[in-house]
C-alpha cells in the first residue's frame, strides 16, 4: 500500500483516488501514461536536432511511402508521420513505440528483423547505424518537434466549404 505522503495532503480528491488497491493501479497507470505524454516542450534542443538529422530522414526515405498521410495506400493502418500517430499505433492495436523503452517498441522490433512476421521496411533491412539511431531515439523518449502533427483526414480529403454548403 502506498504511503499517505505520496500524495499532497492539500488535495483530498487526489489522495482518495490514489489510495487503496485501486489507487495502486491508478498510480501505475498515471506513471505509464504520464511518461508517454511528454510534450515537445520537454525535449531539449539537442534531442530535437537528433530527430531532425538522424530520425526524420530515415522515416521520410524508408517509411512514409507506406506509413504517412501522404501514402497512396496506408499499410497496417499505421502512420509514422507524427509522434501522436506513432504512439497510437496501427491495426495491431498496440502503440508503435513506447517512449524510453525500445525493447518493448514494435517499431524497433520491426526494424531489427528479429520477428519473422514483423520486418520493416519489407524490401530490405535498414543499415545498422539507422537501427541504432532509432533505438537511441526511442530511449530518449522519442522526441518530436511540437506542432508537427498532420491529420490524416485533412490530408486525405481536405475541407471544401463550398462543397459542404452545396451538399
Question: Got the DSSP string for 95-115?
Answer: -S--TT-GGG-HHHHHHHT-B
Which long-range contacts does 57-64 make (Cβ < 8 Å, 24+ apart)? 58/126, 58/130, 58/133, 58/134, 62/121, 62/126, 62/130, 63/120, 63/121
DSSP H or E run through 18? helix 12-18
- Reading the chain (167 residues) residue by residue, the pLDDT tens digits are 444 444 444 445 555 554 555 555 544 444 444 444 444 458 999 999 999 999 999 999 999 999 999 999 999 999 999 999 999 999 999 999 999 999 999 999 999 999 989 999 999 999 999 999 999 999 999 999 987 654 433 344 444 555 545 65
**pTM score of the predicted model:** 0.67
Amino acid at each position: 500500500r502506498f504511503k499517505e505522503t505520496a500524495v499532497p495532503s492539500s488535495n483530498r480528491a487526489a489522495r482518495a483516488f490514489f489510495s487503496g488497491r485501486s489507487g495502486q493501479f491508478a498510480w501505475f497507470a498515471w506513471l505509464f501514461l504520464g511518461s508517454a505524454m511528454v510534450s515537445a516542450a520537454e525535449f531539449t534542443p539537442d534531442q530535437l536536432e537528433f530527430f531532425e538529422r538522424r530520425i526524420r530522414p530515415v522515416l521520410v526515405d524508408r517509411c512514409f511511402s507506406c506509413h504517412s498521410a501522404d501514402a497512396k495506400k496506408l499499410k497496417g493502418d499505421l502512420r509514422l508521420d507524427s509522434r501522436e500517430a506513432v504512439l497510437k499505433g496501427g491495426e495491431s492495436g498496440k502503440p508503435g513505440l513506447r517512449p524510453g523503452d525500445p525493447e518493448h517498441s514494435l517499431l524497433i522490433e520491426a526494424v531489427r528483423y528479429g520477428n519473422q512476421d514483423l520486418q520493416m521496411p519489407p524490401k530490405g533491412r535498414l543499415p545498422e547505424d539507422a537501427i541504432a539511431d532509432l533505438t537511441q531515439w526511442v530511449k530518449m523518449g522519442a522526441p518530436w518537434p511540437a506542432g508537427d502533427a498532420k491529420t490524416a483526414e485533412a490530408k486525405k480529403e481536405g475541407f471544401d466549404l463550398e462543397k459542404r454548403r452545396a451538399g
